């Protein structure tokens, strides 16, 4: 799952005392940001294995720190604590809890989509429902999640600047374009594609979307 993760950020942002949209966009992809950083540092590993799932040729065979349950709980707690530290007075506890939930939402959705490569408490305990092996269902779930989240966010927020509708539309287009590339672009070649290139492309995509979320945050506000 890719853009479906951002549904949690859009749903949580209108909640009272929630952190900003770019913070939530970072939170829902923190696991993958950590994974790609660990791949570049050679702490975690992936390889290109065409056919390993029907939709994704990446074999995420070693990611205990970024995607293991214990690691995710630590990420959720640490990120939530950092958000709480910088949140405004009276918002700290709520902002931290919401940020932590946003981080953990990624693990829940990954368990649904991944093959059994999501570690629980040991290397031999891995789970994954394998939705990626059912392309029509996977695309329907992902698009349904993000569409419902956008509709809810648009309903519960309002423009606070003239570009409030434009920023939201650009964010939607950006998400759609990146997802289309992810689904329909040429797959990486196992013989010629450097693994670090995949990691850097992923980090760049996350950065672009966090930037677009920052623009939306500047031009929209909760409706109540």
Cα angle 183, 107, 28 (rounded to 5 degrees) comes to: 75
Q: Distance (Å, rounded) from C-alpha 8 to C-alpha 12?
A: 6
Domain ranges across the chain? 3-222
Residue by residue, pLDDT tens for the chain (224 residues) are 899 999 999 999 999 999 999 999 999 999 999 999 999 999 999 999 999 999 999 999 999 999 999 999 999 999 999 999 998 787 889 999 999 999 999 999 999 999 999 998 776 789 999 999 999 999 999 999 999 999 999 999 999 877 878 999 999 999 999 999 999 999 999 999 999 999 999 999 999 999 999 999 999 998 87
Q: Is 97 exposed, middle or buried (CB count within 10 Å of its CB: 0-12, 13-18, 19+)? A: middle
Strand 118-119 to 58-62 pairing: unpaired
């Amino acid at each position: 799952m890719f853009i479906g993760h951002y549904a949690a950020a859009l749903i949580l942002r209108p909640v009272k005392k929630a952190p900003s949209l770019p913070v939530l966009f970072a939170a829902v992809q923190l696991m993958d940001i950590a994974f790609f950083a660990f791949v570049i540092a050679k702490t975690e590993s992936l390889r290109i294995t065409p056919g390993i799932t029907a939709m994704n040729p990446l074999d995420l065979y070693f990611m205990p720190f970024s995607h293991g349950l214990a690691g995710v709980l630590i990420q959720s707690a640490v990120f939530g604590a950092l958000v709480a530290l910088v949140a405004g007075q009276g918002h700290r506890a709520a902002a931290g809890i919401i940020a932590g939930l946003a981080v953990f939402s990624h693990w829940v959705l990954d368990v649904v989509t991944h093959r059994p490569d999501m570690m629980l408490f040991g290397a031999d305990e891995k789970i994954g429902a394998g939705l990626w092996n059912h392309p029509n269902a996977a695309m329907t779930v992902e698009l349904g999640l993000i569409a419902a989240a956008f509709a809810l966010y648009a309903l519960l927020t309002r423009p606070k600047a003239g570009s409030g509708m434009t920023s939201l539309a650009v964010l939607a287009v950006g998400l759609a374009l990146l997802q289309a590339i992810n689904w329909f672009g040429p797959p990486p070649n196992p013989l010629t594609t450097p693994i670090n290139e995949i990691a850097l492309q992923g980090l760049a995509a996350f950065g672009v979307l966090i930037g677009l979320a920052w623009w939306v945050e500047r031009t929209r506000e909760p409706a109540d």
